[in-house]
Amino acid sequence: MNFLERIHLDTVRAVDQHGTMTAAAKSLNLTQSALSHSMRKLEDRLSIKIWLREGRNLVLTQAGEHLLATANRLLPQLVHAEEQLGQFARGERGTLRIGMECHPCYQWLQKITAPYLREWPSVDFRVKQEFQFGGIGALFAHKIDLLVTPDPLLRKGLHFTPVFDYEQVLVVSADHPLRNEKWVIPRQLGDATLFTYPVPQERLDIYTHFLNPARMAVRRQKVVETTDMMFQLVACGRGVAALPRWLVEEYASKYPVVPIRLGRRGVRKQIFSRRS
């Protein structure tokens, strides 16, 4: 078994194309002798004749015709497969699966990646935001190739690359009582309604870096799915939110909202990324 090798398909095809075995050999960068030997071995092992030797040229037998048809069907597929693997090698193909543990980063990421995707149409790009076992889990299970997160898991041998700094700020409407404050202290939010993304509290910076340390809480917390919705609600005075300053600045032209520093020093964060 396993008699048929690529060389045989190549040979049958080349002989058919170039007429003679000698020409075929040249086209394959081999000697006529090499092809003769390898085909003879195939013929022996299968105990069939591929060609009839008629004078000084070769005439395909029925089995040979069949083999030629097979070669014509399979070889292009092999070549195609190699080309595609080459594309993988050059990064021209494949799916870059990005996991994101920071909600508003999606828009930032799209802005970054759009020109790249336009240039490499065969590269696919997928963003996941829901992970069964957390971002790190997805990374290790090879569900994603890259994890973007504000909360890197600090374990030995686990290296995260800082991507950019940002400041987490409070967002209030332009006519909110706190609108002119340089900064706020936790107690000032005691009566507020806080809009957050639908993630656990331990991943919300305003809790971990601001409210919890002061043992304070807001009156109400409401979950909002999208960034736009959050700005809308804040803008019409229904509550406050905590978001990156760059995001607030971007939305400031669209909604009447104001960013305010959280605490005297502000809450400074970094976005990290880690490759699989």
Answer for which of 41, 72, 89, 214 binds a second copy (CB under 8 A) is 89
Answer for which of 53, 56, 77, 156 binds a second copy (CB under 8 A) is 77
Other Cβ atoms within 10 Å of 235 Cβ, number: 19
Residue of 125, 127, 124 whose CA lies nearest to 103: 127
Burial of 183: CB neighbours in 10 Å, binned 0-12, 13-18, 19+? middle
Note whether 122 binds a second copy by CB under 8 A.
Answer: no
Nearer to a second copy, 4 or 163 (CB): 4
Number of residues forming the site for a second copy (CB under 8 A)? 31
Nearer to DNA, 45 or 219 (CB): 45
- SS3 per-residue string spanning 208-265: HHHHHHHCCCCCEEEECCCHHHHHHHHHCCCCEEEEEHHHHHHHCCCCCEEEEEECCC
C-alpha 21/C-alpha 58 separation (Å) is: 8
Smallest separation, CB 57 to a second copy (Å): 12
Residue of 270, 275, 241, 276 whose CA lies nearest to 255: 241
Burial of 217: CB neighbours in 10 Å, binned 0-12, 13-18, 19+? middle
- What does 10 interact with, of a second copy, DNA, none (CB < 5 to 8 A by kind)? a second copy
Nearer to a second copy, 2 or 180 (CB): 2
| Choices 63-71, 98-106, 110-118, 127-135 (CB under 8 A): range interacting with a second copy | 63-71
C-alpha 27/C-alpha 196 separation (Å) is: 67
**Site residues (vs DNA, CB under 7 A):** 7, 15, 20-23, 25, 29-34, 36-41, 51, 53-58
- What does 100 interact with, of DNA, a second copy, none (CB < 5 to 8 A by kind)? none
Note whether 94 binds a second copy by CB under 8 A.
Answer: yes
Answer for which of 20, 32, 36, 70 binds a second copy (CB under 8 A) is 70
Answer for which of 37, 57, 72, 88 binds a second copy (CB under 8 A) is 88
- SS3 per-residue string spanning 50-112: CEEEECCEEEECHHHHHHHHHHHHHHHHHHHHHHHHHHHHCCCCEEEEEEECCCCHHHHHHHH
Helix (H) or strand (E) holding 33: helix 32-46
Could you tell me the two tokens for 216? 């304070």
Note whether 4 binds a second copy by CB under 8 A.
Answer: yes
Smallest separation, CB 132 to a second copy (Å): 18
Nearer to DNA, 29 or 180 (CB): 29
Residue of 211, 227, 228 whose CA lies nearest to 219: 211
Answer for which of 58, 67, 204, 233 binds a second copy (CB under 8 A) is 67
Smallest separation, CB 137 to a second copy (Å): 14
Where along the sequence are the contacts to a second copy (CB under 8 A)?
1-6, 10, 46-48, 52, 59, 62-63, 66-67, 70, 73-74, 77-78, 81-82, 84-86, 88-89, 94-95, 142
